Every structure is written in structure tokens, then in C-alpha cells.
Structure 1
């Protein structure tokens, strides 16, 4: 399904949107619930990824296909490695078979796991024979994806002797590691994170029932920050449900978007985003997104829509996402008239006063490409190809844009 966005404006200067739970928190809690069934979860994400995670954790199938869900692939690789006497094949889409998993598999093998590759060495699909893991010390490269680290931490309390994890190199996406440890803490699982070492103690489960509420997704909120930034002064959009002391790394949006003239006000588990000031066209944005790479696409498009120069670093993990997001951003922004330079870890967007109209944006089977470019409908007409890819993380996205006044065909 393609969606054509005719140049639009916000119909109601004060609007309200309800976004479901964070995919990142939901998938972590779903795995922990499988390990500790007394957990109850509220406000789960309705994303494809979380639905696939739920299905996989409750399935008795010998072959589990997680399609494009990278988080699920990593978390489930760890989970099934400790399921005694259970054997599964974990596979995914053609793109998933190109996404590396060797670093995690090597770490699990060091702990004693029985995992083999069925096609290409270092990539899914995987054959996993679940067993009891008694080893506890392991070293992991820290500069690739924090999901490898979180996968180990999530199963750590069910290892016979817990885990002592040494991180080798510069640690990427620290907020996501802290999110995992905070969720363990809520369950009474003790951990320690000092310098480049993380330890998690083995945990004896109690029968005490516990309900955990998932905060709404900050990555999804990023598109509304972009919409407000590209809107007229005093436009306000309220989003629920959000916490000021969020566990999510992407909550840094509230600080970053001050530079784009967007103010954030926290009240009663919601955030009100207001276009509070216009931006000096000479402004240059310089950001290190090592801890929040998933919002890079949104920021790049916002900056382009406002005609600003933008330099972003810390983006090395974007090359192994649903697509190579740095290459994809360069190609699609340049269609619109931008001048973009990229390396393996940086993106430099040069200021431009031109936005080409009626451009067709390819999404590369990447949900964030579709949603990041949609706010440009406030500045020009464009087409988003394969727009239903948004269901991976945010199935309600297009309906929410319609409710704001976007003219979608």
C-alpha cells in the first residue's frame, strides 16, 4: 500500500494522541514474563514486533519465524538457549538473514549454549538446543548493538550462577542497557553496572504476583515532535502516557527538540508538545546519537524540512537495522533536494531552501523510514511507498495523522 500525502496543515491547533506501550519495554517484559509467569503486563505495545514476540514465546512450534523483528531474534536466541530439552529453529525474513548475530551466539556458546548456523556462518537461521547453562563469565563486544547485551541480561537471573559480563570497547545505547537493568530491579533481581562490567545474580522466583505498566513509546513520539517543529507557532499536540523519569533512551527528544523550537511540558502522565518559537535558518544542529540512534531519521527529516544544517554522529548501528538507514536516508533526502554526506557512523545534512514536490519515498521495508518522512507532508506533497510497513512498531500511525488533519490518499 502506498500513501500519497497532499500538502497538509494541522486542522486543530490543540490535538491529543494516545500511543500504546513502548516496543522496547514490551519485548523485554514479555521475555521476563515467560521466565517469571507471575508477572502481569499492562499497556503492551500493539506493534507487529511485540505480537511476534508473544506468539514465539507461547508457541510449541519447531520452527519459529520472526520475520523482520530484530529485537525478537536477539532476545529469543538467548531465551531458547536456556529452555531445557527444547529444540527450535529460529528464522526470519531475507533481510533478517543478512543481519549479524555472531557476537551474541559466541557469547552464549561461551556460557555453554548449543547453537548452530543452518545457512551462513554468523547469521540466522539458527538451530538452538536448549540446556542448563552453569557458566557465568563472558566477554562481549560493546560497540555493535545493546540488544546483544540486553538479551544476555534478560536470561541472566535464570542461569545457575547468574552472569558476570565484561564489555569490550565503547558501550553503545547505554540507556537501553539501563532500561533492562531497571526492569530486573522492579522484579527484585539484583544487578550491578560499574565501568565496563555488569553482573546479575541468580534469582529464586517467588509466587508473588506483580503488575508492570509499560510506558508509551518515545520513538513513536518522535514523529509528533517533528510535526510540531514543522507546524505554525503555538501548535500543540498532547501525547499519552509518558513519564519524566523515563527508562527509554529516546526520551532525550524533549531536550533535542528545544533546538527546533518545540517545548515539552509533562503533566499527569502525558506530554504537551508546543511550537514555542521559530528557528533561525543559520542554526546548525550537532548531535551525538550514540545512545538514541533510532531517532536519527526523524531528526534528519525535521532539519531538512526547516532548511537547517545538521550533523549527527554515533550512528554506526544504523547500518545493520531493517535496512542500511544511513544509505537510505541519503538516497531519499537527495530525491527531495537535500545535500547529504555520510560515513559508516555519521550523517551531515547541508542547509537547503528547496524541497522538491511529488517525490516518491522508498521505505526499504523499514517502518522508521515511512514515519520519519511523513511529517514533510506539512511542507510539500509526497508519496510514501509500502506505507503499511509502519505496523512493525506503530499500526495506528496513519490514522493518527489523519486525525491531525493530514490529507492522505
Structure 2
């Protein structure tokens, strides 16, 4: 479904409740499958988490995770150590183009039996679950942190745990630390020093415990953008903590540079637009938080400021090549933008072309990152239902803020008839 968006003003003040972090949820779902005494609360209602949960609870020999990249990485490790079970793990056409070789080779170092069904290095893969006793493994440190987290998550179930050596400069450290913090929360002993991570096996029975998932900071990023692009705004989001495991909580510091103040109270945060704020060109290294790059560059376009973002090399192997997708779509809007394999540069301009149709490339973040621009110019979003991958309620929440979200050709602005699933 394609949506036409516009928003002349916001209905303020506003309060929005966002479900649990997809990143935390998917890690905890895997740990719950390994240690059933764990109970989870405030889990994500995203497609990715539902796919992950279905795969972990099912017993099919063919497991299709569609577009869920996190599930592909985590389940590769999970099924590799699930002794006696054989599965073929596959996904969408785009998923079969996303590399998995680095993780597969790391698991093979430990003794896992994994083979490729079609093209070497890419899904679908055949996994024969084994009892793993080896515990020393090396992996390039500049690859997706999900490869690293996948190994760490299954480590406490292995007889001898894991001693993981990260070779080179480490990417996305906050996500690795999130994984280790969740392991620690359930009682697993870990140690991270230099480029070596050690995870000890969990040899004692796990006591029953309930873990509440913090709401998703990546989903919050779009409201930071909305507040930044508004003349005035006050939006309260729940449930969030000032001290967070999620790397994308860096949004607080980043958007402070774009005139957004974040105020914390209990388990909520309120985003407030500061009046008469002086904007300057942003120069940011997003090596630890690449998932918020799309939101940031679109915000800069809407504010008429330039930016230079680096540390973005992992964006080329996401749901789409996000750097190239941003270049194409921002150019449609009139932006002067250049990209390399790991960076993006936007030249400041006050000109935004109206009524542009944004292609989303089956990428949820493309749809949501561009939506706040409707505060500046009318905009069209193709394949709008793709947001269900991480944030199924996104369009309804925007409508509650005062955005008009109408299917193409429907002037009513109602979106209740759209099937987002």
C-alpha cells in the first residue's frame, strides 16, 4: 500500500507507548529457548520478533525467516548447537543476497556442520545440530555485530563456553555490550577485555525469572526527527530509561545538536523542541549506531543543514544497500548528496521538492525515516506496510499526532482499512 503524507501541525502535547526493543527481544527469545525458566514482558510486536519466536517454537525442517536479518544470524547459531536437529534456514530473495559466510565459518571452527544449498556464502543453508565441545574461535571484528552476538548467545549452552577473538577494529560495540549485559542478567559469567570475549558455560539450573524488555530506541528515533522538524513540540514516549543497553540511545546527545531536549521521568522520556536553536553542520561517526543514520540525514535535509556521517559500512548489507538507497531518494527530493562505501555527505540546502514518491526497497527504516518530512512538504511513501518489520503501529501513531496518512487516491486520510500484516 502506498501512502500520501502531510502534516501542517501537530496535536500536542502527545504521548505514545512503543513496544519492546526488537534487538533485546530477539536476543532474549533465543536465551528463553535455551533456558525455558525465563519469562519475558513487553516484547516487541515486530514481524522480525514474531518470525523469530515462531522459528524457535516450531519443529519444521524448512525454516523461512523472510526479511528478518537478525533472526537469520541468531538462528544459524541456535540450530548449529541444537543437537540432533537438521534444518534448512532460508528467507526472502534479499536475504539470499545477504552474506552469512563469516558466521558460518566461525561456527565451523567450533565443529558445527553447516553447508550451502545454493551459492556459497549465502542462504539458504543446511544445518545439522551438533554437540559442540571446542571453545576457541576467531571472527573479523568489523562485520555485523549480529554475527558476534549470535556466537555469544549460544555460548552458555556449550560444554566449554566460548573464547571469542575479534580480529581488527570492532564495529557496533553497544550491541555486543547489550548481548553481554543480557547474559549477565540471567547469571552467565562473561569477560570482555581488549579484543577477546569469554563466555562461561551455565552449569547450574537457571532460577525462574521475568525480564522486562525496554522499549525500542530505534523506533523512538522517528519522533526525535518529528520534534526536530516542528516549530514547537512536546512528545512523551514510554517505556525508556536514561541508562539503556541500546546503543541507539545516543539519539539523546545527537538530537540535542538539532534542538531537541530530552527529559526523563520514571520510565518515560519527553522530547521538547527548543526555540531559537542555532543549527550547525553535523559531523558524526555512527560506527556504533548505524541504524539511525537514515533518520539523521533526513532530519538534516528537513532542517536545511548539512551533515557528514561516517562509520556506515554495514549499511550496504542491510535490508537494502541503505547508502545507495538514501542517495537515490534524497536526490529525488533535491538534495546534493554523495556516498562512499562507509560514509555519507549532505550539502546544506533550504530546497525540498514536494510530492516526491519515496521507494522503500522492502526496508522498514526507509519508510519511517522519510515520513517526518511530511511536516515540511507533502510526500508519498511506497510499500508503506513494510514498517511492520519493526514497528507495526507506526502509521497509526503518526495519525494520532495529526499526520494525514491517506492511501493514494483516497482523500479521507483514513488508514484503518490498510492491511499492514
Normalising by structure 1, report the TM-score.
0.98
Query: Aligned to 1:240, which of 233, 238, 241?
Result: 238
Paired position in structure 2 for 1:18: 17
SS state at 1:133 partner: coil
- Count of matched residue positions in the alignment of Structure 1 and Structure 2: 406
Is 2:222 the partner of 1:203? no
- Distance in 1 separating the partners of 2:350 and 2:262: 27
Normalising by structure 2, report the TM-score.
0.96
Is 2:353 the partner of 1:325? no
- Distance in 1 separating the partners of 2:142 and 2:276: 37
SS state at 1:265 partner: strand
Alignment of 1:105-184 (within 5 A): 105-184=104-183
- Distance in 2 separating the partners of 1:227 and 1:208: 43
Aligned 8 A contact 2:302 2:376 in 1: yes
Q: Please state how far the C-alpha of 1:207 moved relative to its aligned partner.
A: 4.6
- Distance in 1 separating the partners of 2:268 and 2:231: 22
Paired position in structure 1 for 2:376: 379
What residue ranges of structure 1 are gaps of 5+ in the alignment?
none
- Distance in 1 separating the partners of 2:8 and 2:68: 32
- Distance in 2 separating the partners of 1:294 and 1:336: 21
Deviations 1:156-212 (A, max 9, x none): 011111100000011000000000000000011000000100000011241510000
- Distance in 2 separating the partners of 1:83 and 1:323: 31
- Distance in 2 separating the partners of 1:278 and 1:249: 29
Aligned 8 A contact 2:21 2:216 in 1: yes
- Distance in 1 separating the partners of 2:327 and 2:378: 19
- Distance in 1 separating the partners of 2:105 and 2:405: 47
Paired position in structure 2 for 1:3: 3
Is 2:303 the partner of 1:298? no
Q: Please state how far the C-alpha of 1:7 moved relative to its aligned partner.
A: 4.1
- Distance in 1 separating the partners of 2:235 and 2:199: 40
Structure 1 runs of 4+ off > 4 angstroms? none
SS state at 1:286 partner: strand
What residue ranges of structure 2 are gaps of 5+ in the alignment?
407-421
- Distance in 2 separating the partners of 1:46 and 1:9: 29
- What is the root-mean-square deviation of aligned Cα atoms in Å? 0.7
Alignment of 1:288-367 (within 5 A): 288-367=285-364
Q: Please state how far the C-alpha of 1:407 moved relative to its aligned partner.
A: 1.0
Deviations 1:277-336 (A, max 9, x none): 34435x110000000000000000000000001000000000000000000001001101
Q: Please state how far the C-alpha of 1:380 moved relative to its aligned partner.
A: 0.3
- Distance in 2 separating the partners of 1:11 and 1:166: 51
